[in-house]
Amino acid sequence: MGPVIVRRRPVTRTRSKVPGMPKPREHVDRGLPAEPSDVEQHAPDEPLLPVHNHHVPQYPRILPARINQMAIQLKILVERMIPVEIKPGILDKPNCPLFTPEVISLVDLCCPGDEKCAVVYCLLLAMEWFKQEGGEELTEADISNLRAKCCQVLAKWLLDIEEDDDYMMQGMLLRKFRHRRGKNVTSLSNAVERAVDLHALTLISSGGYQKCINYLWRGWIIQDPDDGTQFVPYMHVADPSWSKHFDHDRLRAPRYQNYFQIFVSIVFLVLYTIVINTLNPGGELDVIEGFLYFFTLAYTFDECGKIFKVGWDFLSFWSGFNFTLYALIITSFVFRMTALAWDKGTPQRYDNQVLSYNFLAFAAPMVWMRMLLYLDGFQFFGTMLLVLKMMMRESLIFFSLLLVVLVGFLQAFIGLDGSDNKADATNFIIRSMIGAVLGGPDLASFDSFAHPFGMILYHLFTFIVIVILLNILIALYNQAYTDIMENAEEEFLCLYAHKTMRFVRAPDENVFLPPFNVIEIFCLIIPLEWWMSRKHYAYLNDKVMRVIYSPLMVLIAFWEVRLAQKVLANRLRGDSDDDRVMDWETVNTTESDVFNNWYAACAVAGPAPELNPAHQTTKEILKLRDELTSKLEELDRRIGSVVATRTGSGEGASGSSDSDG
């Protein structure tokens, strides 16, 4: 998947402090505990002190109670910014009049100094509260949704005006915090994760957020190996030395994991195609089929391991889809082993072999559809997957209505069938109802079924299903497609961020991707992990990964050496690491008189997009006033000259008459 390029210039960060700014109105605390209780509830996964002497936290720890306090202050600020409902489009304008310098100053006052790194996290927490308000109070849902979006736009503005890219990414977006939820303290999370979980499209589609996601995707920002709660820059981004990049830890980068998964999925598809198209008459298990079952076993272990480590939150549509596919292939394997247990030529061996191939062939559509899961990094496939996901969600409304209708009419038909004490048409009734749902009703077959009640009921059932419910389904699908395509870019960027964070959130310390996870389970975890010391076990894991991933590590090293040369060139020019020089940037326009004159002409003629409509109107009125004033002054000068001329000519005429007299 191609990265999203965001051009930013790294400069020195400056913080604005506004002296004498009035303190925001006090908010009811509602029982927030004092800070000492937060220290008592400190979790073991967040170190209180540096892990080792050369690792000192770049940003101070902020207590959960303080996070809640700042979030409440920001919530009050947003409520004052939007006291009544406004048009939603106002927040999307780049010159929105709501975000004044005074508002930015109040945000700096709310999160002063080193606490500014938590401002985006606090705004997302306030956004979550506004969404909860909208869900609880339906009459206030519209204004609550506007305020929730305002939190996103304000966070986007803060990221855009932040000049230090390192502080923006590692401090404001990737620094992990906790907040209080009732009497409990939440687990550690950062603004990037919170935005993905809250589906904050406006913030996710911002330039600063996408720059951070790109750095995570490329592996230029990685988790600290000594402290998983911290993110640090990869130190060898601009190092052209090949040996520095020949490291199995580079497989932690989401980009390389994604490419490896695509490659393995293609291999899995090729193996399946060979097995399903080359029937083995003797029934023996060949090498290709053995590799297919080996890959299936590896994928099954991977899915089960994620559920065991992450929990039931891991379950989704694709996880259920994968489990169904793997269950079909494993069932085929079981019947294949059962067939091999019988002697050649026996009917039992033949029947089990046929069942094995039938289950394997039944899984063919799912094997091909599974490739879509790994192609979502491409915008076309990603957008279509989002549309399908939304359609499946909207289908729940249709199927819930359909289920109620089906049960009601089924009960009526079974009652009519049993009115003569002979319930012998149940299968016929079920097939006819399914045919009507699928668009093939058999109206004539009910002419003689409990006449005339059966015919009337079946015609009514067909009308409700085909004319009403199916059109409702079409309308729901159309709405789902429209909603996604209207925000296709933002939705794809959200999918891109979700995909990146899925790799970053991976719970494994050692990256054994399928099918190599089978080697980890049967060669490392089961025989060695339970008795070997942690230091020696980690050393052995490193050696094993270096061996099995060596071909991929060679490719990654060559690729990153080329990238390091480009990054080094960007740094020499003073540009950002991910900057790309375009064709028009190769021309020096600063020392050319033609371009300098053109810049001056464009500055005079071009509009000022930074001004809001009110300021633009005021500017035009002042311009008209100046023009009118100049014209009036010119008119006064002309009138004065005319009066002077007439006065002079009158005096001359009177003087001549006196001389004549």
pLDDT digits (tens, 9 = 90+) for 312-344: 777 778 888 899 999 999 999 999 899 888 888
What's the whole-number mean pLDDT along residues 442-464?
Answer: 82
pLDDT in tens, 255-291: 999 999 999 999 999 999 999 988 776 667 888 999 9
User: Which of 134-143, 550-559, 598-607 shows the lowest mean pLDDT across its residues?
Assistant: 598-607
Cα 305 to Cα 54: distance, rounded to the nearest angstrom: 34
What's the whole-number mean pLDDT along residues 501-530?
Answer: 85
pLDDT band at 193 (very low <50, low <70, confident <90, very high): very high
What's the confidence (pLDDT) of residue 7? 41
Cα 316 to Cα 303: distance, rounded to the nearest angstrom: 11
| Spacing of C-alpha 425 from chain mean position | 52
pLDDT in tens, 70-122: 999 999 999 999 988 888 788 888 778 888 888 888 998 988 888 889 999 99
The secondary structure of 23-73 as a DSSP string is: PPPP----SPPPHHHHHHT--TTS-SS-SSTT---SS----HHHHHHHHHH
pLDDT in tens, 648-659: 665 555 555 554
Enter the tokens of residue 245: 């990049």
What's the confidence (pLDDT) of residue 169? 92
What's the confidence (pLDDT) of residue 609? 55
Buried b (16+ CB within 10 A) or exposed e, 475-489: ebbeebbeebeeeee
Residues 6+ apart with CB under 8 A from 400: none
What's the confidence (pLDDT) of residue 53? 38
Phi, psi (rounded to 5 degrees) for 2: -70, 140
- State the Cα torsion 143-145-151-156 to the nearest 10°: -120
Enter the tokens of residue 338: 């059962």
% of residues, the chain, pLDDT over 90: 30
pLDDT in tens, 394-429: 888 888 889 999 999 988 888 887 766 666 778 888
What's the confidence (pLDDT) of residue 39? 44
Enter the tokens of residue 171: 């401090």
Cα 424 to Cα 587: distance, rounded to the nearest angstrom: 86
What's the whole-number mean pLDDT along residues 497-521?
Answer: 84
Residues 6+ apart with CB under 8 A from 652: none
Q: Where are the domains of the chain?
A: 58-234, 279-374, 379-501
Q: Across-strand partners of 184? A: 181
Residue 15: pLDDT above 80?
A: no
What's the confidence (pLDDT) of residue 119? 94
Residues 6+ apart with CB under 8 A from 236: 244, 245, 560, 564
**Residue, of 361 and 98, whose pLDDT is higher:** 361
- In the predicted model, what is the mean pLDDT of the chain? 82
Q: Across-strand partners of 189? A: 177
What's the confidence (pLDDT) of residue 112? 87
pTM over 0.85: no
Residue 607: pLDDT above 70?
A: no
What's the confidence (pLDDT) of residue 80? 92
pLDDT band at 150 (very low <50, low <70, confident <90, very high): very high
User: Which of 234-238, 414-418, 468-472, 633-637 shows the lowest mean pLDDT across its residues?
Assistant: 414-418
pLDDT in tens, 626-646: 888 888 888 888 887 777 777
What's the whole-number mean pLDDT along residues 136-141?
Answer: 85
What's the confidence (pLDDT) of residue 221? 92
What's the confidence (pLDDT) of residue 604? 74
What's the confidence (pLDDT) of residue 300? 93
What's the confidence (pLDDT) of residue 42? 46
What's the confidence (pLDDT) of residue 378? 86
pLDDT band at 202 (very low <50, low <70, confident <90, very high): very high
pLDDT band at 492 (very low <50, low <70, confident <90, very high): very high
% of residues, the chain, pLDDT over 70: 84
pLDDT band at 613 (very low <50, low <70, confident <90, very high): low
What's the confidence (pLDDT) of residue 27? 40
pLDDT band at 49 (very low <50, low <70, confident <90, very high): very low
C-alpha triplet 194, 197, 203: angle, nearest 5°: 60
pLDDT band at 608 (very low <50, low <70, confident <90, very high): low
The top-scoring range by mean pLDDT among 31-35, 111-115, 151-155 is 151-155
Q: Which has the closest alpha carbon to 297: 264, 257, 327, 337?
A: 327
Residue 8: pLDDT above 60?
A: no
Residue 203: pLDDT above 90?
A: yes
pLDDT in tens, 338-356: 988 888 878 888 888 889 9
pLDDT band at 25 (very low <50, low <70, confident <90, very high): very low
What's the whole-number mean pLDDT along residues 245-256?
Answer: 89
Cα 231 to Cα 121: distance, rounded to the nearest angstrom: 16
- Cα–Cα distance list, 250 to 131, 397, 498, 557 (Å): 39, 45, 20, 9
What's the confidence (pLDDT) of residue 572? 87
Phi, psi (rounded to 5 degrees) for 506: -55, 130
What's the confidence (pLDDT) of residue 61? 82
What's the confidence (pLDDT) of residue 51? 44
pLDDT band at 497 (very low <50, low <70, confident <90, very high): very high
Cα 329 to Cα 272: distance, rounded to the nearest angstrom: 10
Are 18 and 109 spatial neighbours (Cβ–Cβ below 8 Å)?
yes
